[in-house]
Amino acid sequence: MSNLKEKFSGHGCDCSITQVADVRLPSRFGEFKLVAFESEAGEELIACIKGDIFGVHSVATRVHSECFTGDVLGSLRCDCRDQLEEALSYIGKSKCGVVLYLPQEGRGIGLFNKLRAYALQDEGLDTVEANIALGFPDDLRKYDLAAAMLCCLGVSSVKLLTNNPKKIEGLRDCGVVVDGILPLRIPPNEHNASYLATKRKKSGHML
């Protein structure tokens, strides 16, 4: 296990992360390696890696914000778990790739506030309106830690698995070279159709 500590600075980003674990992960999506990092603030960051990505260009990359309700409980209110599994399946069949799993629950507002936002949505607000009603912007996520992880892992450039243009812009602002995108378009269900429509209309997602 490496004790690498990396200081990443560039394009307004300035953060340190420390590698704390490196372990093999056989999974139903393929053979991966997990590399764990810790931020200066104590945040736990995971890179799920397929193959050799060091020095590679156009690495298939998913930057995924944790979603307890979706990723763990299988909630049908969002498409988070579907996107994560689609990304893992795609990367598992590829020569190489990486999923970065970041502690940014509820687009950065945290799990409890996300549940409060759900309650407001049940009263008729959409996802953007609910966040604003709670005193938050639509999206609080940052991508400096993701950029630092990619830097530590030696990724030269990425092909991003995303529908979110703000994620592309955010990573580029942090110095990540984004060569292109691979859309993750999940068919809607009766519980998330309005959620996906709001992401498309108000947040600019390419759905």
Q: What is the 3-state secondary structure (H, E, C) of the chain?
A: CCCCEEEEEECCEEEEEEEEEEEEEEECCEEEEEEEEEECCCCEEEEEEECCCCCCCCEEEEEEECCHHHHHCCCCCCCHHHHHHHHHHHHHCCCCEEEEEECCHHHHCCHHHHHHHHHHHHCCCCHHHHHHHCCCCCCCCCCHHHHHHHHHCCCCCEEEECCCHHHHHHHHHCCCCEEEEECCCCCCCCCCHHHHHHHHHHCCCCC
Q: Where are the domains of the chain?
A: 5-103+141-180
What pLDDT is attached to residue 6? Answer: 55
Q: Which of 12-21, 41-50, 116-125 has the lowest mean pLDDT?
A: 12-21
Condensed to tens digits (0 to 9), the pLDDT of residues 47-72 reads 999 999 999 999 999 999 999 999 99
In the predicted model, what is the mean pLDDT of residues 158-163? Answer: 96
- Catalytic residue, chosen from 77, 141, 172, 185, is 141
In the predicted model, what is the mean pLDDT of residues 141-169? Answer: 94
The better pLDDT of the pair 141, 205 is held by 141
What is the pTM assigned to this prediction? Answer: 0.90
Asked if the model's pLDDT at residue 203 lies above 90, the reply is: no
CATH of domain 5-103+141-180: 3.40.50.10990
In the predicted model, what is the mean pLDDT of residues 91-113? Answer: 96
- Catalytic residue, chosen from 79, 82, 139, 144, is 139
Residue 141 falls in the annotated catalytic set: yes
Residue 82 falls in the annotated catalytic set: no
Asked if the model's pLDDT at residue 10 lies above 70, the reply is: no
